[in-house]
Amino acid sequence: MTRRFGIVGLVWTGLSAAVLLSLVGFAVLLGPSRATSIAAAAVLNASIDGFAEEPGAHRIPVLDLHVAPSALDSLQRDLPWSGGESVSAFLIENGVRHKARFRYRGVFTPSHFLGGKKSFRLSMKRSNPWAPYRRLNVINPKAFNMVNDHMAAWVAGSLGVAVPMNEMVFVRINDEDCGVMELFEQVDGDFERNRHLHRHEVPVYKGDYPPVADRSLPKGRSLWQDPAHWEYASDADSSLAHQRLASLIAALARDSLPLEAHRDSIARLIDVDAFLRYQAALVVINSIHVDQYHNQWLVLDPRTGRFYPVLWDALMMFAPRDGSLYAVHDALEWWMLRVPDWRLRRDRYVYEALAQLQREGGFDARLDEVIERIRPSVLADRNKYGNVTLQPEDVHRVSLAHVISSLVGFRSSVHAYWDRTLARIEAKEVEVTKGDVLRLRSSNDAPLLLRWSGDGTIVTVNGHLAAPGFENGRWTLVLYRELVAGPGSKDHPLADKQLMIVEPLDAIVAFEGGVPASLEILNAITHEAVE
Amino acid sequence: MKRSSRGRRIGVVAWVLGATVTVGALAMALTFSVPEALKGDWPLGIAAGEAGFYAQWLDLRTGDSSATGPERYLFGHVPGACLLNDSSVGWSSQWFEADGFGDSVKVRRLRSAEGEFVVKFRREEPFRAQRHIVLLPATLESIRNKYLEILARELGLVTPEVSFVRVIACGRDQGIYLKEERIDADFLEKQGLAGSSLFTQGHDPARPDHLFPDFEDDTLAGAMLVPVLHAAYERIMADADAASDRLTDRRTAVGLWLMHELEHGEGDRGSEDLFAYDWSKGRIIALYRHGRATGPRDTRHFAGLDFLTGLARDPAFMKALKERRLQLADQRWRLKERFAAMDRAWLPILSDGSSLAFAKAAALRIQDELLGARLNAVGAYRGQMLVRHACCGDAFAQDSVGHAPAISTADLLPRGAVLRSHALGEDTLVFPRGRYAIGRDLLLPVGTVVVIEAGARFEIGAGRSVVVQGPLIVQGTVRNPVFVRAMDEGSPFGTFAVLGDGTTSCSIAGLQLSGGSEARTSGVYFSGQFAIHGAGATYMRDCIIAASQGEDLLNIKGGAVDIAECVFEDGLADLVDLDGCKGRIFRCIFRSGRKDSNGDGLDLSGARVSVWGCTFSGMMDKGISVGEASQLLVRASRFVGNRMALAAKDLSIAYVEGNVFLDNAIVFGAYRKKPIYGGARVMRYANEYVNNGKEQEVDAMSNVVHADALDEKTLRMFPAE
């Protein structure tokens, strides 16, 4: 007996030593933190995910895909460079076989092509299980929680922003589980046809990194610098669209013309309201994954001849920052933020969205719904891959524990960010001094709305004649706030990652005939009285 | 008393006795249980399979059921090309046989459910008036779809009939299939929805393709309807009361809501629904087809805001929904009787040789589910948040109109029009004698009575239209008429129209209207330069309607009509088109002097009309055309110089007596024009025939019958002259 235990003990000791040595070896090679993260992910995957027995029927669509193994091998021979060639495949849906073209996608992000859950694209005929959509991206979710992009599309959609169709699916390839993936529409000329809005293709521009031409990653191009930096992604006639895009880019160049000239030019070329909603959505989802170089789409509205944007790959809570309400994603936003009434409209969209999503519980309800739908599929997914460290190449198997903790973190970080944002928007602290004139001092971000009845159409603000409006029998005047470039920002339309900050307000408002007794001072975004 | 330590041997008798007692006890328990318990959960570890085994082999209960076998559908096949093994999405040709029918058909798999396929028949040879049928493998559970069909019909929804057939394909018996007609344009026409466009609409706010309707065939419909819908959604978002918009037919919407709840319980709104858009009323009519998808359903917290879900914001609609549900609950006993009749007819077929008791148990469970908990339940969708994921800019807001009145402000009205308070308290808009230039579309408010006094003269701009959405009273006379003309001669206006709610009355005297064409405005298609849609009753006297550039000179859709002493002349196509009307036409003149026109004098569809003392002359097509199961009595009239004096089509019947037929190329025609209908009949009594080219043209399905005298019964079918 002693002899037998001695051998077993020896084997275990040897194994433990091998594990320890490999850990030490990897710790030396990769650094302790990185090696520990990779090892922990592997251990958690092996030890936790197996407990999920009989997770129940899928509640999300199952994508039953068949691709010849030889074709898959061919595509995988030298990823990411070898994955771009389309091969024949078919989808089975209720026993019906739908032809498709299959290729891998995602050259720039290793989580798309490393690991066992590779992102791919399907092109299908008009009659297909996902009709009317013909081109679909099926990607390995970028975050452990799997749903931050999915939720970003939902949130932006609820703000009235055009978003691609986005669904969570469970993928099977050649009768083997591939796991939970995110499926979304590829934006192209069919964008409006897919929404039953237009019968033909419409002009669409893609603003992203240049296509890969050789075995190297191309550098990003400043999209708003040159129309040639945009890729035309439609079969519709492009002549008018191209002319308009060139005009728009010209209108965004910094020159000696006054802001009003730029504003009017921009307003003729874009759907201002659609862009304000889009920019509001970027504030709400708190992402900088849309920038001067990539993740931008422009659709030329066939009804108005103006461009509207499509939110793409926004990754909710990507690189959260908390510095300002006015982060600049691109040159267009740089200009639009400078137009005070546009900025106010944008802020109102942010406020309305947060009231619904945060105060009324819309976001939690939706997130719960999504979690409930994906739960059986996530439990069944033994093929979860993600970046376990900040190194892009560290794409390794992760566990259910990663998904759960990431979802918890996602929810709490969203709520914390929205609470802070609402606090900024709803700020009401203003120092008000009333005498012959009105003096208003504020150090928060919100513009102020003055409202009064009776006479008093002649008003000056800091000695400049103002032009009050007249609504519902009352005079109104908005005291907009002044934006300046934040610390480290270059204050140029084409500069990267700029922040604008709000200057403190110190305004002296003089009314003809004195300060009206009926004067109300309100937060111009929320219309709540200031304190 | 010490117990023996030796093991006691259990003999064969003990074994047999033990087994018999156990099986017997189980059989007794199952025999004396209520029938539906067979399909239920059993205590003491009795498994469903054991209950099934009992039902199959030991149950002695019999039921009263018909012994008729199912109809057989036979699909011929080429060896190696079995249609059930074909998993491709395209059509394949097959030979199809059923009782009294055999033809080559197209067959295609459907992706909505496993094993489902659609059979398409040739347009000119439909199968029992069906262009497409859908076949889906049936199980005992399929009886649910028959019950759902009964419930849907009870709720006033148009839905295809469900039946069960035996499919023989690939050289062998494939078992029982659920068969139903596919909802398509022909189906809609048979259901009285001719001229409607079929579309699907989903309600999932996360699906951009559910934002707007997806029309099946009509490529223009979407573009025309989307602005109207957009405007309606804006109003719903802004104001709950606006949900009472007339866009959605309330009765069928209530029906569909209840069907969703009965079918899915706390289920989702993830699937798409079918609707018909009635262009004549500008109204969306909900249709019903049972769901195909299987598997778990989600309880969704959100629904996309659309013309159906938006009704949740309308208290009046929710009240109607509650009342209808209570009404249905009161009728539960009657519905159960109907379900029982269906059980007798279909369960023997669906059980397909298995235990009928077990089948009944399954059916009773389904009935209890549908008429029990679900019917009693509070609506599942009423707590959903409505979300409008708008899309693609705000372009629609600029020019959309919808059904909302364009004039709450008087400045849009032509100068001189007067808003008066009616004696009964309703708003009345009076147009006194004078000239009214209409330079833009004038959509008058819903329910407002419009009175046009003698001497008033409307001049309407090119392509512009006037739509009255309430009662219309025209007070012209022969000597002092009301004129409606094009503002610029040669540039026709769109339409002068009434859009009623089915009870609206129109009294029109001394109207002289000409120079219009047709129009699509606010989501409604008006084919007549003078169009009356949805009136309860229309009276016309001493009118002259002439010179149109559109489809019809006058088009009346629905309601009673009484037209007397009027002249209809010189239309581009048809002169008077009556769809679904009942009434009479008395001493009117229908004539055409235009050689470029190719229309009928009087065109009847789904109507019952008597014509007395009228003249039909010079029509390049037919003097009177009677189609789509219409009935016509024509007496004491003259038909002069028409290509065809009178044609009866598509299950219509025309009674013709005491008329004069002079110089017509053909006197009578009787034929089937649309394959979904049958032939027609002309009953000819004593008439005078002079110098006509040919007496009749009749196809094999129709006939022209000579008879001696009209009987009283026939005469009573029509309004008195």
3-state secondary structure of B383: helix
Q: Which amino acid is at B381?
A: Y
CB contact B100 to A (< 8 Å): no
- Calpha distance B154→B145 (Å, rounded): 14
CA of B266 vs chain A CAs: smallest distance (Å) = 14
Q: Which of A359, A391, A414 finishes a domain?
A: A359
Q: What are phi and psi of A260, to 5 degrees?
A: -60, -35
Q: Is residue A233 one of the residues assigned to a domain? A: yes
Q: What are phi and psi of B697, to 5 degrees?
A: -130, 120
Are residues A107 and A14 part of one domain?
A: no
- Calpha distance A130→A128 (Å, rounded): 5
Q: Which of A359, A386, A407 finishes a domain?
A: A359
Instruction: Please report the pLDDT score of residue B399 as a whole number.
Output: 45
Structure confidence at residue B50 as a pLDDT band (50, 70, 90) = low
Residue of A nearest to B111 (CA): A94
Consecutive H or E run containing A232: strand A231-232
Which residues of chain B have a CB within 8 Å of the CB of A303?
Answer: 393, 395-396
Q: Which domain holds residue A177?
A: 62-359
| pLDDT, greater one: A482 or B22 | A482
Cβ pair A132:B298 closer than 8 A? no
> Which residue, among B215, B384, B394, B398, would best test binding to A if mutated, counting the most A CBs under 10 Å from its CB?
B394
- Calpha distance A202→A188 (Å, rounded): 8
Instruction: Please report the pLDDT score of residue B305 as a whole number.
Output: 85
DSSP B491: B
Nearest-10 Cα torsion for B326, B328, B329, B335: 170
β-pair partners for A460: A465, A510
- Calpha distance A366→A369 (Å, rounded): 5
Place of tokens 């989307």: B226
Are residues A154 and A66 part of one domain?
A: yes
pLDDT in tens, B592-619: 877 777 889 999 999 999 999 999 999 9
Residue of A nearest to B384 (CA): A365
β-pair partners for B698: B670
Strands B132-137 and B117-120: antiparallel
3-state secondary structure of B320: helix
| Rg of chain B in Å (alpha carbons) | 31
Give Dmax (Cα) for chain A.
107
Q: Is residue A398 one of the residues assigned to a domain? A: no
Exposed/middle/buried for residue B444 (C-beta within 10 Å: 0-12, 13-18, 19+): buried
Q: Which of A303, A331, A359 finishes a domain?
A: A359
**With contact defined as beta carbons under 8 Å apart, do B682 and B654 qualify?**
yes
Q: Tell me: cis bond preceding A80? Omega within 30 of 0 counts.
A: yes
Are residues A436 and A352 part of one domain?
A: no
Across the range B54-62, mean pLDDT stands at 58
3-state secondary structure of B634: strand
Q: What are phi and psi of B500, to 5 degrees?
A: -100, 180
Q: Which of B300, B392, B398 sits opposite A192 (nearest CB)?
A: B392
Q: Which of A92, A194, A273 sits opposite B394 (nearest CB)?
A: A273
> Which residue, among B85, B391, B396, would best test binding to A if mutated, counting the most A CBs under 10 Å from its CB?
B391
Q: From residue A142, how far is each of A293, A318, A355 by CA, in Å?
A: 19, 10, 28
> Which residue, among B110, B111, B218, B306, would best test binding to A if mutated, counting the most A CBs under 10 Å from its CB?
B111
Instruction: Please report the pLDDT score of residue B407 as a whole number.
Output: 39
Are residues A293 and A248 part of one domain?
A: yes
Structure confidence at residue B422 as a pLDDT band (50, 70, 90) = very low
- Calpha distance B719→B716 (Å, rounded): 7
> Which residue, among A150, A195, A299, would best test binding to B if mutated, counting the most B CBs under 10 Å from its CB?
A195
Are residues A235 and A88 part of one domain?
A: yes
Instruction: Please report the pLDDT score of residue B245 as a whole number.
Output: 65
Instruction: Please report the pLDDT score of residue A268 as a whole number.
Output: 95
Exposed/middle/buried for residue B465 (C-beta within 10 Å: 0-12, 13-18, 19+): buried
Task: Say how many CA atoms lie within 13 Å of B517 toward its Cβ.
Answer: 14
- Calpha distance A374→A491 (Å, rounded): 44
Structural domains of chain A, count: 3
Instruction: Kindly provide the b/e burial profile for residues B59-69, where b requires at least 16 CB atoms within 10 angstroms of the residue's own CB.
Output: beeeeebeeee
Are residues A269 and A123 part of one domain?
A: yes
**With contact defined as beta carbons under 8 Å apart, do A197 and A233 qualify?**
no
- Calpha distance B169→B156 (Å, rounded): 36
| pLDDT, greater one: B43 or B678 | B678
* Lowest pLDDT segment from A418-422, B348-352, B421-425: B421-425
Are residues A355 and A249 part of one domain?
A: yes
Give the global pTM: 0.86
Residue of B nearest to A56 (CA): B296
3-state secondary structure of A210: coil
Q: Is residue A105 one of the residues assigned to a domain? A: yes
Both ends of chain B: CA-CA distance in Å? 112
- Calpha distance A361→A134 (Å, rounded): 34
pLDDT in tens, B450-490: 999 999 999 999 999 999 989 999 999 999 999 999 999 88
Exposed/middle/buried for residue A486 (C-beta within 10 Å: 0-12, 13-18, 19+): middle
Instruction: Give the closest residue to A155 by CA, choosing from A329, A366, A310.
Output: A366
DSSP B504: E
Instruction: Please report the pLDDT score of residue B386 as a whole number.
Output: 75
CB contact B238 to A (< 8 Å): no
Q: Is residue A385 one of the residues assigned to a domain? A: no
Instruction: Please report the pLDDT score of residue B59 as a whole number.
Output: 59
Q: From first to last of the 531 residues of chain A, give the pLDDT tens digit.
A: 455 568 888 888 888 888 787 777 777 777 777 778 788 877 888 888 888 777 889 999 999 999 999 999 988 888 887 888 899 999 999 888 999 999 998 777 888 888 889 999 999 998 899 999 999 999 999 888 899 999 999 999 989 899 999 999 999 999 999 999 999 999 999 999 999 888 899 999 999 999 887 788 888 899 999 999 999 999 999 999 999 999 999 999 998 899 999 999 999 999 999 999 999 999 999 998 999 999 999 999 998 899 999 999 988 998 756 667 899 999 999 999 999 999 999 999 999 999 999 999 999 999 999 999 999 999 999 888 888 777 777 788 888 889 999 999 999 999 999 999 999 999 989 999 998 899 999 999 999 999 998 876 789 999 999 989 988 889 999 999 999 998 888 899 999 988 899 999 999 999 988 899 899 999 999 999 987
CA of A95 vs chain B CAs: smallest distance (Å) = 6
DSSP A249: H
Are residues A23 and A67 part of one domain?
A: no
Q: Is residue A279 one of the residues assigned to a domain? A: yes
Instruction: Please report the pLDDT score of residue B377 as a whole number.
Output: 72
β-pair partners for B248: B284
Q: Is residue A249 one of the residues assigned to a domain? A: yes
CA of A276 vs chain B CAs: smallest distance (Å) = 11
Q: What percent of chain B has pLDDT over 70?
A: 83
| pLDDT, greater one: A515 or B393 | A515
Q: Is residue A48 one of the residues assigned to a domain? A: no
Exposed/middle/buried for residue B7 (C-beta within 10 Å: 0-12, 13-18, 19+): exposed
Tokens of B466: 């006037």
Nearest-10 Cα torsion for A299, A301, A304, A307: -10
Are residues A170 and A288 part of one domain?
A: yes
User: What's the sign of the alpha-carbon dihedral B281, B283, B288, B289?
Assistant: positive
Q: Which amino acid is at B198?
A: L
**With contact defined as beta carbons under 8 Å apart, do B198 and B225 qualify?**
no
**With contact defined as beta carbons under 8 Å apart, do B457 and B483 qualify?**
yes
- Calpha distance A445→B253 (Å, rounded): 48
Instruction: Please report the pLDDT score of residue B403 as a whole number.
Output: 41
Q: What are phi and psi of B202, to 5 degrees?
A: -90, 170
Cβ pair B396:A273 closer than 8 A? no
User: Which three-class secondary structure string do you get for A23-73?
Assistant: HHHHHHHHCHHHHHHHHHHHHHHHHHHHHCCCCCCCCCCEEEEEECHHHHH
Q: Chain A neighbours among B 484-543 (CB < 8 Å)? A: none
Which distant-in-sequence residues (6+ apart) come within 8 Å of B102 by Cβ? B95, B96
β-pair partners for B303: B386
* Lowest pLDDT segment from B38-47, B326-335, B569-578: B38-47
Are residues A205 and A107 part of one domain?
A: yes
Structure confidence at residue B410 as a pLDDT band (50, 70, 90) = very low
- Calpha distance A380→B170 (Å, rounded): 38
Instruction: Please report the pLDDT score of residue B378 as a whole number.
Output: 55
Instruction: Please report the pLDDT score of residue B526 as a whole number.
Output: 94
| pLDDT, greater one: B177 or B65 | B177
- Report DSSP letters for B98-164, one per residue: ETTEEEEEEEEE-SSSTT-EEEE--TTS-BTTBSEEEEEE--GGGHHHHHHHHHHHHTT-B-PPEEE
- Calpha distance B519→B462 (Å, rounded): 11
- Calpha distance B7→B400 (Å, rounded): 94
Cβ pair B109:A95 closer than 8 A? yes
Instruction: Please report the pLDDT score of residue A50 as a whole number.
Output: 80
CB contact B84 to A (< 8 Å): no
**Over 70: is that where the pLDDT of B2 sits?**
no
Q: Is residue A56 one of the residues assigned to a domain? A: no
Structure confidence at residue B411 as a pLDDT band (50, 70, 90) = very low
Which residues of chain A have a CB within 8 Å of the CB of B212?
Answer: 195-197
Instruction: Give the closest residue to B493 by CA, choosing from B474, B469, B467.
Output: B467
* Lowest pLDDT segment from A221-225, B419-423, B705-709: B419-423
**With contact defined as beta carbons under 8 Å apart, do A83 and A104 qualify?**
yes
Task: Say how many CA atoms lie within 13 Å of B57 toward its Cβ.
Answer: 9
- Calpha distance B321→B386 (Å, rounded): 18
Mean pLDDT (chain B, rounded): 84
pLDDT in tens, B179-233: 999 999 889 988 888 889 999 998 888 888 988 899 987 777 887 888 888 878 8
User: What's the sign of the alpha-carbon dihedral B646, B648, B652, B656?
Assistant: positive
- Calpha distance B670→B699 (Å, rounded): 7
Instruction: Please report the pLDDT score of residue B242 as a whole number.
Output: 57
Across the range B436-447, mean pLDDT stands at 86
Both ends of chain A: CA-CA distance in Å? 84
Consecutive H or E run containing B222: helix B221-238
Instruction: Please report the pLDDT score of residue B267 as a whole number.
Output: 58
pLDDT in tens, B649-658: 999 999 999 9
- Report DSSP letters for B341-392, one per residue: HHHHHHHHHHHTTS-HHHHHHHHHHHHHIIIIIHHHSPPSGGGPEEE----S
Are residues A216 and A168 part of one domain?
A: yes
Instruction: Give the closest residue to A176 by CA, choosing from A387, A376, A380, A374.
Output: A380
Are residues A8 and A112 part of one domain?
A: no
CB contact B141 to A (< 8 Å): no
Q: Which of A196, A303, A304 sits opposite B209 (nearest CB)?
A: A196
β-pair partners for B198: B276
Q: Which of B89, B212, B395 sits opposite A127 (nearest CB)?
A: B89
Domains of chain B with bracketed CATH: 13-57 (no CATH), 69-137+159-184 (no CATH), 193-329+379-387 (no CATH), 405-563 (no CATH), 573-721 (2.160.20.10)
Q: How many CB pairs under 8 A join A and B?
A: 128
